[in-house]
Amino acid sequence: MADTMLFVVFPYVAVLLAVLGSVYRYFSYRFSYSSLSSELVENEWLFWGIVPWHYGIVPTLLIHLAGFTIPAVMALMHSTPMLLYLSELAGKVFALLAFAGLVILFVRRLTHSKIRVVTSPMDWVVLVLLLNQVFLGMWTAFFYRWGATWFIQTATPWVASLATFRPQPQYVTALPLVPRLHFLNATLLIALFPFSRLVHMVTFPINYIWRRLQLVVWNRRPAQ
């Protein structure tokens, strides 16, 4: 019963909250649909945190997405020991980058008085959950080796079963505690998505790719 609640009911509730909450927030509080950047308050620590965080987490998310959507291709990429070693190494490097950047961002908000003023309780919750998520992912990568191969044999069919409304939680309930906590923590982040700054993930300005170059003209008053 507990496994069904955690690995079947909870994911459906989380996705429903994420979709409906995001739509409601977009039409009700559209101007809050951003990362609410604190760059104007402090930008030096922000740079050293946000750059490794994004360079680490974006490839990690894309790799996870590929494992869910094109598992056959991912399996082929791990079909030889050399490819497996390289993929595992790359995953660890990206995870360490993300974790280092996230720690800097967390310390920045914790120690900078002006940043603390503009930090909401939900910001702290999300930061802790993100730290926990990356830490659990690194624990899985370093201590349960070859996650790149068993991921597509466990997590992928579990997610596919949920997507086709034929849930089969047994794919993940037999895994060790840390990978299961990793999945549950990710599900909680999905549930909190529309109530946090994470909504900025779906506001990437795609039209910038084909937008005409912007002409900036400085018009300064002459010195008196």
What are 150-187's pLDDT values in tens digits? 888 999 999 999 999 999 999 999 999 999 999 999 99
CA 7 to chain centre: 19
In this prediction, residue 75 has a pLDDT band, given cuts at 50, 70 and 90, of confident
Residue 56 belongs to domain with CATH number: 1.20.950.20
Of 130, 144, 2, 139, the closest CA to residue 56 belongs to: 130
Neighbouring residues of 6: CB distance < 8 A, sequence distance ≥ 6: 169, 184
Q: What is the total count of domains within the chain?
A: 1
pLDDT averaged over every residue in the chain: 88
The pTM of the full predicted model, rounded to 2 decimals, is 0.86
Q: Which pLDDT does position 104 carry in this prediction? A: 95
Who wins on pLDDT, 30 or 170? 170
216 lies in some domain: no
Domain assignment present for residue 163? The answer is yes
Residue 48 makes CB contacts below 8 A (sequence gap 6+) with 101, 104
Q: For the chain, what is the total number of helices (H) and then of strands (E)?
A: 10, 0
Residue 219: inside a domain, yes or no? no
150: Cα separation from own chain's centroid: 21
- 80 in a domain, yes or no? yes
In a domain, 217, yes or no: no
- Measured N-to-C along each axis, helices 81-111 and 147-163 cross at an angle, to the nearest 10 degrees, of 70
Answer yes or no: is 224 within a domain. Answer: no
Domain assignment present for 214? no
Residue 223 belongs to a domain = no
Banded pLDDT at 204 (limits 50, 70, 90): low
Q: Structural domain of residue 195, as residue ranges?
A: 2-209
